[in-house]
Structure 1
Amino acid sequence: MTSNLTQTAFQARRQNLINLALKRDPVQSYPKPVVTFVENVPPTNVNVGELHVTDTIVNELPPVNSHISVISQPQMVVDELPSATPTIKLTSDRSISTTSSILKNRSENVSSKLAAPLKSTGDISPLVPLVGTAILLVIIGASAVFLPPFLLALQTHRDYSCYPGCWNGGSCSAQNVCTCLTGYEGDRCQTTICNQSCNHGVCAQPYACTCQAGWNGTFCDQPICIPACVNGNCTLPNYCSCDVKYTGYLCLTPVCSPSCVHGFCTSPNYCTCNVGWNGTICDEPICSPSCINGNCTYPDVCNCSTGWEDSICSTPICSPNCMHDSNCTAPDTCVCSVGYNGSYCQYPPDNCTCATGWTGQTCEIAICSMPCLNGGTCISPDNCSCDITNWDGLQCETPVCSRNCTNGGTCGPTPHTCNCTVNWTDSVCSTPPNNCTCQFGYNGSVCEYPICEEGCSNGGICVAPNQCNCTSSWSGLLCLIPRCNPYCQNGGICLAPSTCLCDNTAWNGSYCQVPICSTSCQNGGTCIGPNICQCTTGYTGDLCQDPVCIPINFHDELDYQGPNATCQHGGTCISPNNCSCTSLWSGTYCEAPVCSLPCINGGNCTSPGVCTCNITEWNGTQCEIPVCDPACSNRNHLEIS
């Protein structure tokens, strides 16, 4: 309020001084001096025609390299500027375009012309000191301020210019100072304002982001995925970060861990198995019918246990084969034909010498030093065949429970009955007491979960403290030991499930069961051990290369080792039971002498070329000479008619 009163007092005093000056020497009605901006023109006096409207000097700064020329004769006091002042614009033809802010849309073009200085009608104008060099004394309070008259006029001018202008609706509020609308800033209101930075876009409108392709949201911070992610989040344009249970484009592919071996993952951790496979991860083959004495290793493919063969492992193997039409009833177990005995029925009747572990007339009864219990049967020496649904163990002494006894319970004393620890009940000891204090190795609300500290590997399941129930392909406490079923034989080493490493110089086969003979057995012989041939009837030798000629009256061909196994009298065995004799002998075994002249009259060839005659009747080399008893006399002889 004080500032306004001071300004008002200043204006009043100024006007009074002007009025006093005019009373002393009234000013004739001359045109008001007009300021013109002239570019690159020397200073000159300009006579400006009278304007049709009341215009005043504009507080406009001259252009660069311009100067102001003012009429100096006569000089006048400039009137007070009105509250709304017109503006003046320079044109290219050195004219002044004025537009009054009071008279809207009205403008005048004033062309400047060079003219002689104006002369006063009076002798000496009292205003000369005021316009040219006089200084107007203004008294404000106790202070004196000396100002040129044209500065007093310019001091009250309220129009401004902002070059090159205020943008986006801004207004010029002071010389080269723009006042911006809401949402804009900058010296010319050229910059839009957004409350928060546009992450992936630009601030194109006040408080509104224009996003780049693939982004959305108020601040362009939300990526766009087309089509949308199904089981995950859109983290970058058209890029999905999937949940842990899904993967793939749009997160549509479920994840199974571990992976499905022979099937497809159709939902998280759920496998749909191919035909012929079963199990959580489709790793258990299905054999129909089931393998009797072996394991199903591939759909409808059985890997037979040692001593069994055929498609379902139901046929036992006896090696060597049971002889004399005997039957193989179990691996390496022959039921001999009547009268025969021996491990493979090789001994003829009434000549049984039983091997260790066997007895009976034909050594057909196995001996178990520890008797088989609970209905078990001794099927081979110290080998009991148990009712596997109820009993197990070397003597069939261990009861079997179809469900594992839990919480420390043990199976027994009868099959399928658990002997539970204190406070646990029911058939598998799973019903807890009212207050559970778990034994070491168990946890859970009712101590139902066993603890395996190091975890079960290869698909094994923890069934007791630090005890894993492994799959059919693994064994060991933590299921780390591969299992070969049947077991690797003859010193083979199980490297991986059903994969044996054999001594390739002596054994071969999937479980090292096939012996190797470095030189093949001949004449139909069979390799039954490393470099050991089992020959067919009629041959012998390491490789079955030698034929055998056996006397007819010798029945046990396997045990025959007599000297007459070869052909007699220098004959040579050239094939089984086929002798090549010398010229003096004949017969199957070269046992019959040859007489080149046949023996007659009942004589017998008893050695090569020698006939044995009935000496009472015949004599001679061929028994051709009759014998007379008594002898004939007078040179008579017996005539044979």
Structure 2
Amino acid sequence: MQTLYRPAVLQLFGFLIGLSCSLDPRDPNVCSLWESYTTSVKESYSHPYDQATEEPCSDPRTSYRCTRHRITYKTAYRQAVKTEYRRRYQCCPGYYESGDKCVPHCTSECVHGRCVAPDRCQCERGWRGVDCSSACDDRHWGPDCLRDCKCENGALCDPLTGACHCLWGFIGLFCEDSCPAGTFGKGCKQTCKCKNGATCDAATGECTCQEGFTGTFCERTCNKRKCQARCSCQNTGTCKGKGVCACSAGWTGSVCTEPCPEGRFGPNCTEECVCHNAGKCDPVTGQCRCNHGFTGSRCTEECAAGTYGEDCKGVCDCANGARCFNIDGSCLCEPGFSGPHCRNRMCSAGSYGMHCEQKCVCEEKHTLSCHPMKGECTCQPGWAGLFCNETCTHGFYGHGCVEPCLCVNGGVCDSATGRCRCPLGFTGVHCENSCKSGTYGKNCSLECSCENFIDCSSVDGTCFCKEGWRGPDCSEPCAEGTWGPGCNSTCYCSNGATCDPADGACKCSSGWQGARCDQPCQMDTFGPGCLRRCDCVHAAGCQGTTGECHCLPGWTGPRCSDPCPEGLWGSNCNQTCSERC
């Protein structure tokens, strides 16, 4: 009982430690993935308002003021439920969490050694095998080390299975065969580059030249007595002394023919690199080439939500809340949905439930879909409510009825699309423009039938007449004695004067003057408005209407320029002289 109790206590203790510790994202063995969560937020949006101002009308001849509209926006707030994404950190594949560190995990316990990398044990002296559990020497294998190894040419024997691990330059079940001519290296998979009959070392690929040839690959001729010392280093490696090569980045070995093993890079493969999630290390630069679905300098980051594939450049196409597989973009459907993009309901239309036994209660003609598992209704644009039987609240439209309508001047917003249906007299995307002068009606498509007008009603085309005109089409002048807008003002002109129908100004008849034509002409003026001057010589003025001269006594003629004829005298020469004269 005690032996069972102790591991359980340790496991619980480890679990509690794990809860109290958090991983450091900077740990090279910590990977990240994206997880979704919903949150209620207060979001701001720009709400439109119709701002109306009174401004002088465009016609300078009128004193009317016209209403102008323009849309202004103010910040408003509303509650919304949003799906957000956050990184979650965990140990990379091949590692497990220990405290706040990620340490390598070996599937088989390292019995006499320690785990230094995923599934790689470093054995203590005298122990061999994948799990460091065998004490066999290099010539024996098996549970009791009683079986002899049959490996040849210096090959090592696996202490557990007896399998031979051939040295470079040898192949075969027991490593009994040298590499075929023209090949060398591990598994004899590399091709020799030696020329001019040179021999190729089966292990390293180093060329041994015939007499008279030199160069790394014996490619140059030389005088056999004067052949310069040759450098055997391949792949741009350089000689640092006899038989010593300094290999360029990506290569190692005695003559630089061995590519860097996985996880190593740089000159002579001295640098170590760790690429997670099956990423590959560039043997020259050490940069990780990430596998599909991962990114980051060490390939520790899963593609962000909505992306997948190589370099995370693919864009996911998954419907109905499905999660996109970060590697190939395939969709992981939510319960109740199927198909490549999770667009197919597993229940027939109108039903839902574990066995599709429930009937959907959504208003069918206003519903996009009924959730096949929960029966929840997803409404068409313009509809809301649990059963999609409610229209959008006034002023809102679209999916979920959360988009604010932008219509002004009494325009009606389409609850599905948000398009504005303008009232008579207005046009524009938001019904923000009044009809242009001379047009009216729906979409301002009708022309006004007015003659002497300032403007017409943009709603029904009613004519607004200029001063001095009246009638339905402003074609009738004001009646005598009236003037002004609508001919509603009365003229106050005297002595037969006429009244201007536009501004009410009096046009005086001959012999009269003044604003109301109630003042006679002065002595030396006559005519309409007393604007003409009398043309008399010996006169006391002229008649105000005709300009006829009033001659002084003793004078006569049209201009009073002639003296009375012989024998006549007095006013108008109407007196006869007596015999005494």
TM interval, shorter chain, is under 0.3
Larger strand proportion of the pair: 2
Please tell me whether Structure 1 or Structure 2 has the larger radius of gyration of its CA atoms. Answer: 1
Structure 1 length-normalised TM: 0.21
Structure 2 length-normalised TM: 0.22
